[in-house]
Structure 1
Amino acid sequence: MSVSVSLWCEEEVRGQQGQGAQQGQARGHSQLRAPWDPSVSGQRIIQRLLQVEERYLPSALYVALIQRDPERREELAKWAMEVCCERGCDETVFPLSVSMLDCFLSASLSLPVSPYCLAAACILIYSFLHFQNSVCDNMEMERVILATLRWDVAAVTAQDFIPHFLPPVGERKDGKTDTEEFFSTLRRHSDTLVAMCVCDYRFLGAPPSLVAAAALNSALRGLGNKGPGHLGHMSATLAELCQTDLVSMVLQCYSELIEAALKQRLRGGLQDSAMEKDGEIEDERAGTPTDMREIDF
């Protein structure tokens, strides 16, 4: 696999040198990022994101249909996550791909013959990856998706809000700010919770800003190094940033929903590991009686 499309200015043109393909592939796995610019953060940017996020929410009809039978969508979302992790895609590719998947299904209200082809096409569109021997079905599905969405694919996800929510949340009542290590840990935990919400049908149709605020709130409580007063101050700050009526109650509800979903997944993971261990023990047991195995042929 080689990178054929990139937005980086320093990318070399393929074919100039014999090692161009290998260098392009190496750059595909390294996440090059511009340094954080404080001038593109703050209340003005948050307000703009809040205005844009409503345009990419799925329809109420699609949400109702998915809630009746959520297994297929959850299966596709988990498969997309596994592919993104295996291929080393940027952390933004997975939520954007699932958002495009939901937007396409919301607009068409019909599942294609190959749902995994649809999910793969969404991943390829956002990851800018191109296989040398591309499958014609994937390329055709990409055209169908882009035509259906009219090339309006610059969706807003919960991960777009997290870096803008972090600085206000990190401000303490005494005027001091938390350490860089705390911000890094909080960001990792929040990204993990957001990825879990993307796969969970119960958060389908929720505004990304609310999901991001609830994930941050749950991550803060999960870290356990803040007092009740400080946690209340941070929750109030997040509620104010979301700028929604009754957002404090809704934020608390979604935070509890995230924590319940996390506990459910952890219990499911422990049960799966226990079942796998029991299966290994069962395989190791002899199917032949012990005395029969002691015979010297």
Structure 2
Amino acid sequence: MHMDGDVAVSLWCEEVEDEQSREQGRTHQGDVLRASPPLLRAAWDPTVSGQRVVQRLLHVEERYTPSALYVALVQREPARREELAKWALEVCCECGCDEAVFPLSVSLMDRFLSASLSLPVSPYCLVAGCVLIASKLAECDNVSADTLCAAAEYDFTPSTLREMERVVLATLRWDTAAVTPQDFLPHFLSSVEQQRGGRGGDSGEEEDDEELLSTLRRHSDTLAAMCVCDSRFLGAPPSLVAAASLNCALRGLSSSRGHRDPAQLTFLRDQLAELCHTDPLVLESYSDMIECGLRQRLNSGIQQRHADKDEDVEDERAGTPTDMRDIDF
């Protein structure tokens, strides 16, 4: 496209089709009624990154923090809130939602409960309504109300879910585009990439760096999602949670690859602390909290598997014939 003054302006939007989009776009062989188009995702634009964007996110994130009273009440009895957050995570995973849907839905739930300070008659309907709103904001092809009702085993009807959606929107005054840790992670990763890219190196090192950044993104997303479920991080700034998740992922990958460089890890930690305007020791403390929470979840998962295995063994024993001498007539 050309404008006056012979200034060339390109309006081309470069979109890439990833493997997940191709899988979603494929139709079954017998399905000839409707062919769903593949979902396209815009490539990462470096011009929308940088200190200016991070500063804007830091300024906006304060507006979406739950009240101190709600945080205190939940942290006193966190079981119910963590149960609802875990169910939201399960629903988002089963429905194949975008990674941004889950933290946004939990943020909507926390802000609604922070305003009302009471659970509705059907708490899972509230969670499903928040997932529905978040999916409409973050995805092109949002989750349907029928799918969410099926995920809840039809504990509520689609009409009830849509009514809950209107209640949440009215309570939040339609201010639903909250800032989450996933909003900060791409910018923090871009900063880490720039710091690592300044070292130079051959093509083999560049491929290793690309693989490392991809792994860092996956691990950081996982750790940030874990923090969303953990009520100990409720009320913490999303920027701090994102920076601590990335710092924790950096420490874990450096240790697992056998080339842990304390000086480089300290330098990257200080850079992340500067980006999110916090003290490096505070960032280090939150990183330790994330590692502690990760170990607790891994240990609880191992114990649960052992308990399930012991239960299977007991069931097998109960099904074996009993020795006649053990029966008291």
Q: TM-score, normalised by structure 2?
A: 0.77
The match for 2:143 is: 129
Please give the alpha-carbon distance, in whole angstroms, between the structure 1 residues aligned to 2:323 and 2:283: 65
**Post-superposition shift, 1:175?**
3.1
Letter in 2 for 1:168: S
Q: Secondary structure at the match of 2:218?
A: helix
- Of 172, 196, 209 in structure 1, the residue corresponding to residue 196 of structure 2 is 172
Is the Cα contact below 8 Å between 2:273 and 2:280 reproduced in 1?
yes
Asked whether 1:141 is paired with 2:137, we answer no
The match for 2:108 is: 100
Asked whether 1:191 is paired with 2:221, we answer yes
Please give the alpha-carbon distance, in whole angstroms, between the structure 2 residues aligned to 1:74 and 1:265: 13
- Of 277, 281, 294 in structure 2, the residue corresponding to residue 243 of structure 1 is 277
Is the Cα contact below 8 Å between 2:145 and 2:161 reproduced in 1?
no
The match for 1:33 is: 41
Please give the alpha-carbon distance, in whole angstroms, between the structure 2 residues aligned to 1:123 and 1:261: 25
The match for 1:3 is: none
Q: Secondary structure at the match of 2:119?
A: coil
The match for 1:231 is: 265
Unaligned stretches of 5+ residues in structure 1 = 1-10, 12-17, 293-297
Letter in 2 for 1:231: L
**Post-superposition shift, 1:289?**
3.6
Is the Cα contact below 8 Å between 1:220 and 1:226 reproduced in 2?
no
* Change over 3 Å in CA distance of 1:131–1:112 after alignment to 2: closer
Q: Superposed, which structure 2 residues align to 1:1-297 within 5 Å?
A: 19-20=33-34, 23=36, 27=38, 30=39, 32-127=40-135, 128-131=142-145, 135-170=158-193, 171-172=195-196, 175-176=199-200, 179-223=209-253, 224=255, 225-244=259-278, 247-289=279-321
Letter in 1 for 2:115: A
**Post-superposition shift, 1:287?**
4.3
Letter in 2 for 1:267: N
Please give the alpha-carbon distance, in whole angstroms, between the structure 1 residues aligned to 2:167 and 2:98: 24
Please give the alpha-carbon distance, in whole angstroms, between the structure 2 residues aligned to 1:238 and 1:41: 15
Is the Cα contact below 8 Å between 2:62 and 2:237 reproduced in 1?
yes
Please give the alpha-carbon distance, in whole angstroms, between the structure 1 residues aligned to 2:273 and 2:87: 33
Q: Secondary structure at the match of 2:267?
A: helix
Is the Cα contact below 8 Å between 2:128 and 2:161 reproduced in 1?
yes
**Post-superposition shift, 1:169?**
1.7
Task: Determine what percentage of the aligned residue pairs are the same residue.
Answer: 65
Please give the alpha-carbon distance, in whole angstroms, between the structure 2 residues aligned to 1:253 and 1:175: 29
How many pairs does the alignment contain? 268
Structure number with higher relative contact order (C-alpha < 8 Å, ≥ 6 residues apart): 1
Please give the alpha-carbon distance, in whole angstroms, between the structure 2 residues aligned to 1:220 and 1:145: 37
Is the Cα contact below 8 Å between 1:57 and 1:205 reproduced in 2?
yes
Is the Cα contact below 8 Å between 1:172 and 1:230 reproduced in 2?
no
**Post-superposition shift, 1:107?**
1.1
Please give the alpha-carbon distance, in whole angstroms, between the structure 1 residues aligned to 2:268 and 2:33: 51
Is the Cα contact below 8 Å between 2:132 and 2:145 reproduced in 1?
no
Structure 1 vs Structure 2 CA RMSD: 2.0
Q: Secondary structure at the match of 1:172?
A: helix
1:166-187 Cα offsets, whole Å, 9 max, x none, are 1222313963377111100000
**Post-superposition shift, 1:130?**
2.3
Is the Cα contact below 8 Å between 1:158 and 1:194 reproduced in 2?
yes
**Post-superposition shift, 1:285?**
1.3
Q: Secondary structure at the match of 1:126?
A: helix
**Post-superposition shift, 1:146?**
0.2
Please give the alpha-carbon distance, in whole angstroms, between the structure 2 residues aligned to 1:273 and 1:87: 25
1:52-97 Cα offsets, whole Å, 9 max, x none, are 1111110101100101110000000000000110111111100000
**Post-superposition shift, 1:248?**
1.0
Please give the alpha-carbon distance, in whole angstroms, between the structure 2 residues aligned to 1:219 and 1:276: 30
Letter in 1 for 2:296: Q
Q: Secondary structure at the match of 2:98?
A: coil
Is the Cα contact below 8 Å between 1:158 and 1:209 reproduced in 2?
yes
